[in-house]
Amino acid sequence: MVLPLTTRARAKVNLDLRVLGRRADGYHELESLVAFAGVGDTLSLAPDAPLALTLAGSRAEKLAVDKDNLVLRAARALAAARPGLRLGGFHLVKRLPIASGIGGGSADAAAALRLLARLNGIAPADPLLRAVATGVGADVPVCLDSRARLMAGIGERLGPVLRLPPLFALLVNPGVGVETVGVFRMLGLEAGKMLSAARAGSLAAPGSAAELISYLTSTTNDLAAPALRIAPVINEVLERLVALPGCRFARMSGSGATCYALFDDCTVSAAAAKALQREHPDWWIKPTLLG
């Protein structure tokens, strides 16, 4: 009997996010420094079973298993690109909130590609995986190896891997799903309108957490303002995070509504998580390490 293959689908956190403009084809040109959390979903693959997806976990009831599910879309896309690909049955333990700005669906799709690559002897660096990932979704390429880096364009341009200092963080979602399409629509940018130039293609890794936090204070998340108009509770989350003892920095991730806060050590972040959970037992609150 062949044992299932298993991998983690780690949450993606946009430490910053700039909207550089909107291309003539309608897609928005972005640039973002991305890190990955220690929390995430778990995906397993039973080799050679019929292609299917089963769900479990605390967030499974909010996820649909249909033609638009990113795990199945990724599997079908890779099978179309590689005739004769061995497939199987997927089982997803869903822990990350849905439509939350931390790339849960994209991380799951990237996990599916990794498992199928492992099953079929496809090297992790094979350009086929990046090409298929780009076709599945904007955040899927950066989630393939889930390592910190600068991503740009619509997610297809990735800078070198960055060795970030350990970041003790708190991830908080108030239980409100925010659709990315709605946030971009709220920006109101005309097709073909560019706003600003990109940073250098390579970004020097900061030597310490303090240095990185100092850098982040000079950047923005340009999707925060439109996301706040859609989900005003995000502002409440940010205000509460900033007020937590030991919080060094707080910002919304992606298109929301998940926000992150940075602390000096794990003891302080864990204490902050407990205090916030007592106040808001209905919020999703996870102390974690970003890197």
Positions annotated as catalytic residues are 12, 139
In this structure, the strands spanning 157-158 and 149-153 are: antiparallel
Longest dimension (CA), the chain: 56
Report the distance separating Cα 270 and Cα 228, nearest Å. Answer: 27
Report the distance separating Cα 55 and Cα 13, nearest Å. Answer: 24
CA distances from 143 to 135, 179, 225, 256, 281 (A): 13, 19, 25, 18, 30
Q: Are 98 and 59 in contact (CB under 8 A)?
A: yes
